Chains A and B, each alone.
Chain A
Amino acid sequence: MKRIAIDPITRLEGHGKITIFLNDDGAVDRAYLQIPELRGFEKFVEGLPVEEVPRVVTRICGV
């Protein structure tokens, strides 16, 4: 199958790529959206003093 990669996807906040597979007729057989990023806020805000949380989680997305 022919493979088309759109990497990176743009004009949004964050990282992403799209991989499209075409069948022998050139039609889209299937397509995958992948998010190739993880920073770990879920973990490293654990135990943070609650009054500091707003000053940390504002860095999840700055857009």
Chain B
Amino acid sequence: MKLKIGIYWGAACGGCDVAILDTHLKLLEIAAAVDIHLWPIATDFKYSDVRAMKDGFLDVVMFSGGVRNSENEEIARLLRRKAKTMIALGACAHLGGVPGLANMYTREDILRRAYLESESTVNERGILPQERSTVDGVELELPRVYDTVKTLEQVVPVEYSIPGCPPASMQIYSALGLVADDMLPKKGSIIGAGERALCDECIRKKSEKTITKIYRTHEKLPDAETCFLEQGFICLGPATRSGCGSRCIKSWAPCRGCYGPLDDVADQGLKMLSALASVIEPKDEQGINAVLDMVVDPVRTFHRFGLAASMLRRRKA
């Protein structure tokens, strides 16, 4: 019997959906093996269709995007009830992703910047989005923007996560294969990714690292063969799960950590900081601090995709 699946997005960009479409001809195999019952980017099912399903009707839901507002949470809870297996698809559902960087600010900071202060905004009456508003005698509703971006797992139980921003298309294809063949690992596992650090699969040459200075990309041209970190460019390879196919590295861009931490690592950013501190010369505290001070924007460098899932989680109010 065909698997019944739903695909949904919360606070997302649609890149995970495109990664599914980017399986190209394999998409035909997927389409032959599953019946799609929700996929806003590609099909016309409504929330009312989902509400009408019996609980547990869907075999699998793949949910991309984090939980940023009350609609994201409502649909996450609804789909959780309808799904036998819930998969967090991509860095945002898995770790909060780039939109999780909003946790450096408050809800009010964000609303003010977007709707009142931005150079391209015309809002003479200073109106901010309202959860309920009456316009010409009719009532309209909008979701509430939350103060804190949450990962999917911080809102509903999640069986599996497929990491990446976006996940590599063939990794989604193989993860769906695990579902179709009833070969899923134990609940709570990461699927569609490697089990080693990205460094272990990196094509660049590594030797004993010693870092005395940290460079920004415009300050020095990296050579074509040597490990970025050894050359002084921050690269999150040591603290990041493999499985992406080294897409960024092959494009001459150091890793920013979208595949998230390895198993049993509580905080990817702190793991990276620890890895970095261990290769800095000189070894005394003052020397290490002097080099670390060269990192311009530590939170958005070490927690680029994982701030919402990290121990920091958000700026204190």
A binds B: yes
With both beta carbons as reference points, the residue of chain B lying nearest to A6 in the complex is identified as: B46
B37: Cβ under 8 A from any A Cβ: no
* Known pairs A39-B11, A59-B15; A19 contacts B140 (CB<8 A): yes
Q: What's the least CB distance linking A1 to chain B, in Å?
A: 7
Report which of B43, B135, B300 forms a contact with A10, defined as CB distance below 8 A. B43
Tell whether B222 is near chain A: CB-to-CB under 8 Å.
no
Across-interface contacts of B145 in A (CB, < 8 A)? 38
Known: A13-B14, A39-B68, A42-B110. A32 touches B135 (CB 8 A): yes
Chain B residues in 8 Å Cβ range of A37? 11, 68-69, 71, 143
Given A59-B15, A59-B99, A62-B14, decide whether A43 and B114 contact each other with a Cβ distance below 8 A: yes
| Those of A5-37 within 8 Å (CB) of chain B | 6-8, 10-15, 19, 21, 30, 32, 34, 36-37
B41 in complex: contacting residue of A40, A44, A63, CB < 8 Å? A63
Taken together as a complex, chains A and B put the C-alpha atoms of A55 and B101 apart, in Å, by 13
- A63 x B44 contact (CB < 8 A): no
Taking a contact as CB atoms under 8 Å apart, the answer to whether B13 and A51 are in contact is no
Q: A34-B140, A43-B113, A55-B256 are in contact. Are A10 and B18 (CB under 8 A)?
A: no
Residue contact A44 to B102, C-beta cutoff 8 Å: yes
Interface size in chain B (residues, C-beta < 8 A): 54
Main secondary structure, interface of A, reads loop
Assembly CA distance A46 to B137 (angstroms) = 39
Closest-CB distance, A21 to chain B (whole angstroms) = 6
Q: Which residue of the partner chain B has the closest CB to A60? A: B13
The A-contacting residues of B in range 270-316, CB under 8 angstroms, are 296-297, 300-301, 304
Pick from A13, A42, A60 the residue with the most CB of B within 10 Å. Answer: A42
Residues of B within 8 A of A59 (CB): 13, 15, 97-99, 165
Contacting residue for B217 out of A42, A47, A51, CB 8 A: A51
Contacts known (A11-B42, A37-B68); A42 close to B113, Cβ less than 8 A: yes
Q: Return the contact of A44 from the options B47, B105, B166 (Cβ within 8 A).
A: B105
The residue of chain A having its C-beta at the shortest distance from the C-beta of B120 within the complex is: A42
> In the bound complex, what is the Cα–Cα distance between A10 and B42 (angstroms)?
7
A49 neighbours in B (Cβ, 8 Å)? 216, 296-297
B136, A8: Cβ atoms closer than 8 Å: no
Residues of A within 8 A of B98 (CB): 56, 59
Given known A47-B297, A59-B165, A62-B166, contact A38–B71 (CB-CB < 8 A)? no
* Docked complex: B35-89 residues within 8 A CB-CB of A: 40-48, 68-69, 71
Complex CA gap A5/B13 in Å reads 24
Contacts beyond the supplied A10-B41, A11-B43, A62-B17: 5 A-B pairs with Cβ under 8 Å = A3-B138, A6-B46, A30-B138, A48-B297, A63-B41
